[in-house]
Structures are given as C-alpha cells and as structure tokens.
Amino acid sequence: MIDRLIEKIKETENPTAVGLDTCAEYLPTEMRLKIKDFKDAARVIFEFNKNIMDAAEGLVPAVKLQIAYYEMYGFHGIEAYQKTLEYAKTKGYITIADAKRNDIASTAGAYSKAFLGVSDIGIAAFDADFLTVNPYLGSDGILPFVEDCKAHGKGIFVLVKTSNKSSDELQNRELKDGKKVYELMSDYVSEWGSGLVGKYGYSSVGAVVGATQSEEAREIRARHKDMFFLLPGYGAQGATAKDLKVSFDKNGSGAIVNNSRGIICAHKKAPDVPYYEAARMAIITMKKDLQEMES
Amino acid sequence: MIDRLIEKIKETENPTAVGLDTCAEYLPTEMRLKIKDFKDAARVIFEFNKNIMDAAEGLVPAVKLQIAYYEMYGFHGIEAYQKTLEYAKTKGYITIADAKRNDIASTAGAYSKAFLGVSDIGIAAFDADFLTVNPYLGSDGILPFVEDCKAHGKGIFVLVKTSNKSSDELQNRELKDGKKVYELMSDYVSEWGSGLVGKYGYSSVGAVVGATQSEEAREIRARHKDMFFLLPGYGAQGATAKDLKVSFDKNGSGAIVNNSRGIICAHKKAPDVPYYEAARMAIITMKKDLQEMES
C-alpha cells in the first residue's frame, strides 16, 4: 500500500493529505443552517466532502478522515463517513482513516476487520487504505492490524510523537536505559513493519509524527530510514514548511503532510468564492509552500 | 457519575459489568444463520443484546459495550450500538462505552461530545455514562473528556495497565526517575480526576487495570485510594476472583469487573437452555465467585 501512496504523491507532485474533519461548525453558514438533526448533518457533510474532493481532484494524493467529527452525529454521521470513503476511492484518492484505534488481541482484530479487512460475515465496512493506531497496549494490540495489512494490501500509521504540546508528558520521558518513550515506540514500529517494506524502501507500517515536533522527527528519521511519516500539525497548529524538511529524505519522499482546517475552513477567509474553490486555492498555496521547502 | 455506579453495585450486590462484545461469531448458530448483510447483523445483534439485558435485569449494575465489534458492520452496526445504549438506560443499567478513544485537543473534544456530551448541533449521539480513553497523548488529549464529565455528570476510565501480555512492552518500562510508565500514568489519572471525587471517596475519572495484573493493581491501589478501577480480563482471559481482591477496598468497593465472552458466549456450553438463560446462569455463578473473594 505504501508503494501506491508514494506513486500517487509523485503523480500529483504533492505530499499533502486533505483532512476531511468535517463538522457543522466548519461548514459555510448557509450549509450549517440547513442542519436540524443528525440525518441532515450526514447529508450536508457528505455533500461538502464530495465537492471538496471534486475540486481537489488531481491536486492531492490522499484524503484523511478524522472519525471523531462523524461520531458526533451517531450512526448517521458514520454513514456519511462510509460514503465519503467510498466516493474518495471512485476518485482515485488514497484513503486514510484517522481513528487512532487500539485494543487487545481479539478486539484489535475486530477494529482491524472494520477498517482494513472484512467482518466475520465476509463483508468490508470502511475498507480504508490506511488506519492510524495507538500503541499504548504493545505488540498484541498492533499485530492484528499488521496481519490485515499483509492480507489485504493495506497500511497503518502508529502514533509515535504527536503534534500536541502535552505529548511530552509521556512520549518524551526518558527511560532507565536512556531511550525516550517515543524512540522506544519508533523502534517497535520499525519491528512491526519489517516484513512490509515496499519497492521504494518504505514500510506500510508508518508513524504519526507531529509536524510541530521537528527535533523528534529528526531523531526518528535518523533511527529509521524505512519509516514513512504521517505529519499532522501543519497550518492551524502552527507548523511551517521549514519544520517539515527533516522528515523527508533527499529525494523529497518519506512523508505526507496533513492539513485539515487550513483547507476545509479556507472559505471563512475567502467569502467571495465557493467553499470548494477556497479549498482548492488553499491546496495550491500549500503545494507551493511545500515545494519551497524542497528547494 | 461514580456515585451512581457505586450505589447501583450496592443495590445489585454485584460488582460486575456484562460486556456486550456482540458479533456474529459469538451468536447462537440459529441467529447467526439469519445474517446475510450488515442490516441483518444490526437487527439480530440488537435483539440478542436486548434479551441478555432483560435476563440480567436486577442482577448486574452495568453493561459495557465494546464498540470494535459493532464497527465491523459499518454504520448499521453503530445503529445497533446506539440502540443498545438507549435500551440499557431504559432498564436502569449504568452504561460504559468501551471505545478507548484518544486524540488531541479539539478532536478529543469531538469524541467527548459524541460519547459523553452533545454535538455541535445540540443533540447527544451515544450519551453513555462512562467512556474508556487512552492516555498516550497526555493531558490535552484527556482534559476535554474531563470537562464533559463535569458538565454532564459522566465518567471516564483511562487505560493505565491493560490485561494483555504485551502491555509490559511500554506500560512496565522503568523511567529514569524509577517510576514505571503505568505508575506515572496512574499519577496523571489521579491529577485529572482530583476535582471529581464523589461522596464515597472515589473519582469519576477512574482507571482500566487488567484483572490479570494483580501485582500492578496492588501498587496502583496503594498509590491512589480514590481511584475506581474497571477490571477487564476475568474469565476468558484467565483472571480468577483471587486475582481481583487487591483491587477492592476493605468494604468491597472500588472496582467493577467486566466479563464479556464468559457471559454472552455461555450458551455455547449450555445448548439445552435459551442463550439469555445461559447468560443469566453465568452471571449468577460469577456473582458467587466474586462473593467468595470478599469473604
């Protein structure tokens, strides 16, 4: 799966994922006012996502769907989530389900079946290309996902060093042996992904590394050349293109940068154009910004 | 919220949560054979849950719903999840949404709105009494949930030491200052819950501690007298009543024990009675087992 993502990034010349963190609050006013119940929310959110994906076609390789925003609207919201994933695939986007799932063995297996594999009645529910997962429970909470990556040609991004300020509280603690927690976790991620390295030298088991954390990103990159990074935190959270450079290899590969609010809320700063056009312009501006990083 | 749970445990004289990890695989054969698609799965699973809850009425204080099993069936599965929570409340059960959600600030807020609070259009989706959460991201990933606990009278259980074998990989690592990771996390949990201690001396911010981990449970109990434990791992995962004793206080309070497969799959060992009757008998057997622990 990582090979397909890398090829799609090359094709679009843009290592960006559009973060469809779509919720009522982020919609243009006239759309938000149409929402009276969860059913309306699901319909309007899918319409919004569809128009964004149409406008961004050919410009970005991937969309990342943060499921928390959809869960707010109960099962109707999850219907919009599922429909968005399906539509994304018809448009050729690589799909990243950002759900940070985690549990022990058989339950981790159920999550994996839901997002990457097929259920116990033989039908796939979300069928995303990638899923984000949380490693607090250790190997037996991660290996069921790795198995489905192998069986179904999928990938995962494991939380290693997150973009938020208080990620230091646990992730930057120094262990007795001198390693920091995020370094330990990156070593586990490398081990979990060792059987899934593709033709470009990267594994389908990648890491989530906050774009705001350039020091830690540099260290993880130095430790693990074969680890592909998903980088949240650009834009609204304050990371700039300069902060991202350490995460990429000398060919400009090795990572994908997510931007959610900077794209889907661009209409709030551009009220004279349709929201999807504002999103398209924000994507083009971001693409230029990332290209300057590479030069 | 923790006060209501403690009172309900006293009323039923049973510190047990029935784990409704309901999926096709765990259903009686004749029910499983009715399932051809996700819609069928949702209908049959809700019927199963309803009958279990009717049979267990008055015997247990709480039900715990592991959402992974429902997500396998896409939005139809989530509809069954939502309906089960609603029905549980009409029967007077305390509801624990076992979803181990985790993310950073605004996204953690969206998860919290979904499970404990109200969405940005003013309607509640799952409206559970308790939610399990994962602390890998630190305080700003947890405090949005704590805020909703205060605002809506809810509770959370934070993963501290999980029941699986490989939980040692991160959770039992020793830090430079001599603390183990799970001890550090228990100290954070205590801090997060300090403003939510109820009239029985326990906080609505509790901890998930594997029933299989009696050594660690003993240490966490010694560190934090005001921390209520959710104990998974009894039964199928191998923990016995003896292992649980360290988690309870001298009045027999301070923890609730989850049992999922031991109850909902009891019919597999008792083919001569209806599945809900098999579940009821398993609950009574477990109750006696836990009472012997106390004596």
- C-beta atoms of A166 and B25 within 8 A: no
Average pLDDT for residues B175-198, to the nearest whole number? 98
Q: Rounded to whole angstroms, how far apart are CA atoms A153 and A2? A: 9
Domain B2-294 falls under CATH 3.40.50.2300: no
Q: What is the pLDDT of residue A241?
A: 83
Reported confidence tier of residue B238, pLDDT bands at 50, 70, 90: confident
Asked whether the beta carbons of B87 and B50 are under 8 A apart, the reply is yes
- Residue extents of the structural domains in chain A: 2-294
From A39, A100, A245, A287, the catalytic residue: A100
Residues of A in contact with B78 (CB under 8 A): 74-75, 78
Residue, of B240 and A145, whose pLDDT is higher: A145
Is A176 annotated in the active site?
no
Chain A nearest CA to B201, separation (Å): 27
User: At A40, phi and psi to the nearest 5?
Assistant: -60, -45
pLDDT per residue of chain A (295 residues) written in tens, 0 to 9: 999 999 999 999 999 999 999 999 999 999 999 999 999 999 999 999 999 999 999 999 999 999 999 999 999 999 999 999 999 999 999 999 999 999 998 999 999 999 999 999 999 999 999 999 999 999 999 999 999 999 999 999 999 999 999 999 999 999 999 999 999 999 999 999 999 999 999 999 999 999 999 999 999 999 999 999 999 989 877 778 888 999 999 989 999 999 999 999 999 999 999 999 999 999 999 999 999 876 5
User: Is B294's pLDDT higher than 90?
Assistant: no
Q: Rounded to whole angstroms, how far apart are CA atoms B146 and A162? A: 20
Q: Rounded to whole angstroms, how far apart are CA atoms B75 and B224? A: 39
Residues of A in contact with B115 (CB under 8 A): 71
Residue of B nearest to A83 (CA): B75
Q: What is the pLDDT of residue A295?
A: 56
B66: left (phi over 0), alpha (psi -120 to 50) or beta: beta
User: How confident is the model over B145-164, as pLDDT tens digits?
Assistant: 999 999 999 999 999 999 99
Q: What angle do CA B261, B266, B269 make, to 5 degrees?
A: 125
Identify which of B24, B137, B168 has the shortest CB distance to residue A121. B24
Chain B nearest CA to A250, separation (Å): 30
Average pLDDT for residues B267-291, to the nearest whole number? 96
Q: What is the pLDDT of residue B139?
A: 98
- C-beta atoms of A169 and B138 within 8 A: yes
Q: What is the pLDDT of residue A294?
A: 61
Closest CA to B256 of B94, B133, B144: B94
Q: Rounded to whole angstroms, how far apart are CA atoms A116 and A232? A: 21
User: Is B295's pLDDT higher than 70?
Assistant: no
pTM of the model: 0.97
- C-beta atoms of A75 and B69 within 8 A: no
Residue of B nearest to A139 (CA): B166
Q: Rounded to whole angstroms, how far apart are CA atoms A123 and A295? A: 46
Residues of A in contact with B113 (CB under 8 A): 72
Interface test with A, best of B164, B175, B261 (most A CBs within 10 A): B164
Chain A nearest CA to B146, separation (Å): 15
Q: Rounded to whole angstroms, how far apart are CA atoms A228 and A207? A: 6
Chain A nearest CA to B200, separation (Å): 30
- C-beta atoms of B174 and A175 within 8 A: yes
Q: Rounded to whole angstroms, how far apart are CA atoms A3 and A162? A: 24
Query: What is the ipTM for the molecules in this complex?
Result: 0.97
CA quadruple A203, A92, A102, A113: dihedral sign: negative
Identify which of A37, A79, A114 has the shortest CB distance to residue B68. A114
User: Is B293's pLDDT higher than 90?
Assistant: no
- C-beta atoms of A73 and B125 within 8 A: yes
From B100, B180, B245, B287, the catalytic residue: B100
Number of cross-chain residue pairs from A and B with Cβ atoms under 8 Å apart: 216
Residues of A in contact with B107 (CB under 8 A): 21, 66, 68-69
Residue of A nearest to B163 (CA): A104
- C-beta atoms of B68 and A101 within 8 A: yes
Chain B nearest CA to A169, separation (Å): 6
- C-beta atoms of B134 and A100 within 8 A: yes
Average pLDDT for residues B237-250, to the nearest whole number? 87
Residues of B in contact with A69 (CB under 8 A): 107, 110
Which stretches within chain B are classed as H helix? 2-12, 29-32, 38-55, 68-71, 74-90, 105-115, 143-152, 168-171, 181-192, 214-223, 241-244, 261-264, 275-294
Q: Rounded to whole angstroms, how far apart are CA atoms A156 and A142? A: 9
Residue of B nearest to A77 (CA): B75
User: How confident is the model over B22-42, as pLDDT tens digits?
Assistant: 999 999 999 999 999 999 999
Q: Rounded to whole angstroms, how far apart are CA atoms B16 and A142? A: 28
Chain A nearest CA to B67, separation (Å): 9
DSSP run (H or E) holding A149: helix A143-152
Q: What is the pLDDT of residue A240?
A: 83
Other residues' Cβ atoms within 10 Å of the Cβ of residue B269: 9
What is the SS3 assignment for A252? coil
Residues of B in contact with A167 (CB under 8 A): 137-138
Asked whether the beta carbons of A235 and A209 are under 8 A apart, the reply is no
Identify which of A72, A75, A168 has the shortest CB distance to residue B113. A72
